[in-house]
Amino acid sequence: MTDKSDPATRAGDIAEALFTRSGGMGAEPVPVLTYPAGADRLARRQALRPVYDAIVARIGAPTLLGGAVKGPSVRWCSPERVLLLSGDHTHVELSVHDADEFERDEWQTFDRTHPGRNGQTFDALPYIWQLDRKGPGLAPSWTYNGVIVAGSWDHAITGLELMLAAWVEQYPVQAPGDWIGFCLWTARDWGRDMIVSYTPADHGRELAVCVHDRGTEQTEERQAQMRERGWRIQEDHQWRTELPETDPDAPRLIAELTIAECRARKATCPDELRAHDISAGDDGELWLTGLGLPTHPSRGEHY
């Protein structure tokens, strides 16, 4: 006998009803979880995990994983409908949509949203990361293929900070046990990569960034310069900073250090950066639509 008062059980019932019954598209979203007031990203993650697991157990794995700035953006797709798990820092909800209308509306939202211009923010994007692991169902054939590039260094920091914070809250629920990250280079320092990553299994140092400082003698003056930027660990010519996910400021600190290093290496604007080798545990295609930096490629086969 199942407990209908349990949020996870109720979420599974709602997901099954919305996804399998005919009609119902365009109805109001149905809340499936309300977070306690003041819950931080780790508390929200812990609360969502059993609810998400119950939905997957009831209707199967999602077609697309992903997340927006303030909550998940997970989709179960058929040719006719899209079941969307979404939410914000107060609650999570399920909604069902006509597939064609959903794809069109989402594409138009991406096309007209430019964070940093006219008061627009990354919050307006339908999702900032999306992972296609070829799950069941039919992924949308009409997706946004553009690149949203921050118009200033401040917005570049914000985009990266929000991405890292979203990974901490959302990714371990949807892809338990996997790491996620990308390499980053600047056009004026060709061939030198930074690696930005989130690895839930590295307890106490889940968020990390590293750079190879080859070509520069590691004098005391150079070491002081690197530490002043925010680098903490040196091994030969490699510098790393690793921070715990329990630190609420960790996403911001990693983002600030990453952009500061790019600027120190003569980058003049975010458009001179490139994120590449974008991966989630080397499994599937990962798209960072809300990173705020150019990605290579923006959509299509990664190479």
First to last CA, the chain: 50
Other CB atoms within a 10 A radius of the CB of residue 66 amount to 25
pLDDT at 145: 77
Provide the pLDDT for residue 236. 79
Largest CA distance in the chain: 69
**Token reading at 185:** 């280079």
Instruction: State the pLDDT at residue 26.
Output: 65
Question: Residue 51's pLDDT is what?
Answer: 98
Above 80 in pLDDT, residue 303?
Answer: no
pLDDT, tens only, 244-301:
999 999 999 999 999 999 999 999 999 999 999 999 999 999 999 999 999 987 764 4
3-class secondary structure, 165 = helix
Would you call 89 exposed, middle or buried from its count of C-beta atoms within 10 A (0-12, 13-18, 19+)? middle
- What would the two tokens of residue 232 be? 């903490």
Three-state SS for 284? coil
For residue range 195-241, list pLDDT tens digits in order.
Answer: 999 999 999 999 999 998 877 777 888 889 889 989 999 987 889 99
Average pLDDT, the chain: 91
Residues pairing with 33 in the sheet: 92
This prediction's pTM: 0.94
Query: What percent of the chain is predicted at pLDDT more than 70?
Result: 95
Cβ within 8 Å of residue 282, ≥6 positions away = none
At which residue do the structure tokens 């590295």 appear? 202
Q: How far is CA 200 from CA 40, 177, 242, 271, 280, in A?
A: 17, 7, 12, 30, 12
- In this predicted structure, the answer to whether residue 302 has a pLDDT above a threshold of 70 is no
Determine the average pLDDT of the residues in 153-168: 97
Residue 167 has pLDDT above 80, yes or no: yes
The pLDDT of residue 100 is above 60: yes
**Does residue 168 register a pLDDT over 50?**
yes
Q: How far apart are CA 137 and CA 139, in angstroms?
A: 7
Distance CA 134, CA 64 (A): 8
> What residues contact 284, with CB distance under 8 A and at least 6 apart?
131, 132, 133, 134
What is the 3-class SS of 56-93, one letter each residue?
HHHHCCCCEEEECCCCECEEEECCCEEEEEEECCCEEE
24: Cβ contacts below 8 Å, ≥ 6 apart: 18, 96
H-type alpha helices, the chain: 7-20, 41-59, 99-112, 153-174, 220-229, 250-264
pLDDT given at position 142: 73
For 22-51, the pLDDT digits (tens) are: 666 667 999 999 999 999 999 999 999 999
At residue 188, the pLDDT reads: 87
